[in-house]
């Protein structure tokens, strides 16, 4: 348990890696396997009006998709002006409405569940899990102001795998 601020690693995937992931998420065969853990979010730039796409780790529960990104990455700010996005999930593209939340204690439990279900993501955000697979609440609370919790509500009644399972139950 620690009371200090969590130091989120500032590393960003190289452009070539994101380009390769985007291509693989659009390739038949690969998209279903890789798309079970990584979504491709397509959105419109709030200033440029251009279409952008970025791959991101996600959890899918019912009609909600949850993702996490570092606060210092600016792309998530586009959701305040234009919250309508397209999500490519496991080989299917679905319309969704995005909401970005920074530092809200109400999202703490969702953050904990998300990172406990994805130990690699927890490590990437600088908060490795305990040997029992749990994330100390103090670490999650310290991480909260450094990350953006993204919530995507699927439109047109799209349902997640297994209906309303919890984030923990959808471990990769």
pLDDT tens, position by position, 55-104: 999 998 888 999 999 998 889 999 987 799 999 888 889 999 999 999 89
Report d(CA 14, CA 27) in Å as an integer.
20
Domain count, the chain: 1
Residue 160 has a pLDDT of 53
Tell me the residue range of the domain where 164 lies: 15-170
Per-residue exposure over 112-145, b if at least 16 CB sit within 10 Å of its own CB, e if not: bbbbbbbeebbebbebebeeeeebeeebbbbbbe
42 falls within a domain = yes
CB contact at 8 A, 94 and 155: yes
Domain CATH number, residue 39: 2.30.110.10
pTM of the predicted model as reported, rounded to 2 decimal places: 0.78
Is residue 101 helix, strand or coil?
Answer: strand
CB contact at 8 A, 94 and 171: no
Q: Is the pLDDT of residue 21 over 90?
A: no
Average pLDDT of the segment spanning 125-139: 93
1 falls within a domain = no
Report the percent of the chain where pLDDT is more than 70: 79
89 falls within a domain = yes
3 falls within a domain = no
156 falls within a domain = yes
Residue 128 has a pLDDT of 85
8 falls within a domain = no
């Amino acid at each position: 348990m620690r009371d200090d601020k969590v130091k989120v690693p500032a590393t960003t995937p190289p452009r070539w890696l994101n380009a390769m992931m985007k291509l693989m998420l659009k390739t038949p065969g690969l998209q279903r396997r890789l798309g079970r853990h990584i979504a491709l979010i397509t959105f419109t730039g709030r200033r440029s009006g251009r279409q952008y796409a970025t791959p991101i780790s996600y959890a899918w529960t019912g009609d909600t998709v949850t993702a996490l990104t570092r606060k210092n990455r600016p792309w998530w700010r586009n959701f305040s002006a234009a919250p309508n996005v397209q999500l490519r999930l496991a080989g299917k593209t679905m319309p969704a409405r995005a909401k970005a939340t920074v530092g809200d204690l109400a999202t703490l439990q969702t953050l904990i569940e998300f990172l406990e279900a994805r130990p690699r993501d927890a490590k990437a955000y600088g908060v490795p899990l305990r040997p029992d697979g749990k994330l100390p609440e103090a670490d999650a609370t310290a991480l909260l102001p450094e990350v953006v919790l993204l919530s995507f509500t699927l439109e047109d009644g799209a349902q997640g795998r297994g209906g309303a399972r919890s984030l923990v139950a959808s471990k990769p």
